[in-house]
């Protein structure tokens, strides 16, 4: 059994020695994005289908009423990065470990501008930067069983979620959408290290 603390996850954001280490057995990384899902490879024919499809801001996994599911993954895992070119006031809802209520339920734009319900937010210039007008958030979101991210209508356009899943014997910290003092200190140290 492997137990990772929130500080362990945060350190992975800047530990160059760890970055050069091959992934552990059962560890996989990937991304979910709003790319145009019409572009695909047909293995049966060996042909690319709709390769020129270019409605990249409109892709999603599936719909739940008027909402879209943008990310869904079995755990244990962590979302490392969330990016959007055009976040708007429609809500982002993050559901962790099959809970009925989201641990995050705020306007998508605020997701990049606020931290831990603080107004003004902690100043994480490196962990929550705006680069070339794109909004980024490099604050780990761990989950042990399952994670689903849902966007309400009016959320904006374009998104990426970068994630890692771990072997099933890995235990990650429980995430409830808030950050305690020690977690905030770990994030502040990472932000300072990256500057």
Q: Is the Cα dihedral 125, 180, 174, 14 positive or negative? A: positive
Distance of CA 37 to the CA centre of its chain: 19
User: What is the spatial distance between Cα 92 and Cα 109, in angstroms, rounded to a whole number?
Assistant: 9
For residue 114, count CB atoms less than 10 angstroms from its CB and return exposed for 0-12, middle for 13-18, buried for 19 or more. Answer: middle
User: What is the spatial distance between Cα 184 and Cα 178, in angstroms, rounded to a whole number?
Assistant: 10
Domains in the chain: boundaries: 2-16+62-194
What pLDDT sits at residue 123? 79
What pLDDT sits at residue 51? 80
What's the average pLDDT block by block, 10 residues per block, for the chain (195 residues)? 97 94 94 81 89 74 93 98 96 98 96 77 85 93 98 95 98 95 94 94
What pLDDT sits at residue 132? 87
Domain 2-16+62-194 class, CATH top level? mainly beta
Alpha helices in 12-90 (DSSP H): 16-19
Distance of CA 134 to the CA centre of its chain: 15
pTM confidence score? 0.91
Q: Is 184 helix (H, G, I), strand (E, B) or coil?
A: helix
């Amino acid at each position: 059994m492997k137990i990772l603390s929130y500080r362990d996850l945060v350190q992975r954001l800047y530990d160059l020695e760890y970055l050069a280490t091959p992934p552990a057995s059962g560890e996989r990384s990937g991304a979910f994005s709003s790319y145009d899902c019409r572009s695909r490879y047909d293995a049966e024919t060996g042909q690319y289908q709709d390769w020129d499809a270019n409605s990249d801001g409109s892709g999603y996994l599936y719909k739940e009423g008027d909402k879209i599911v943008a990310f869904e993954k079995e755990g244990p895992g962590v979302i490392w990065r969330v990016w959007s070119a055009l976040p708007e006031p429609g809500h982002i809802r993050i559901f962790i470990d099959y809970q009925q209520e989201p641990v995050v339920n705020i306007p998508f734009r605020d997701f990049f501008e606020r931290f831990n319900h603080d107004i003004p937010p902690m100043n994480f210039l490196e962990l929550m930067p705006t680069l070339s007008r794109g909004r980024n958030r490099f604050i780990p979101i761990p989950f042990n069983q399952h994670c689903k991210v849902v966007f309400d209508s009016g959320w904006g356009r374009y998104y990426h979620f970068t994630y890692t899943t771990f072997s099933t014997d890995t235990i990650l910290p429980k995430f409830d959408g808030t950050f305690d003092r020690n977690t905030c200190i770990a994030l502040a140290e990472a932000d300072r290290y990256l500057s």
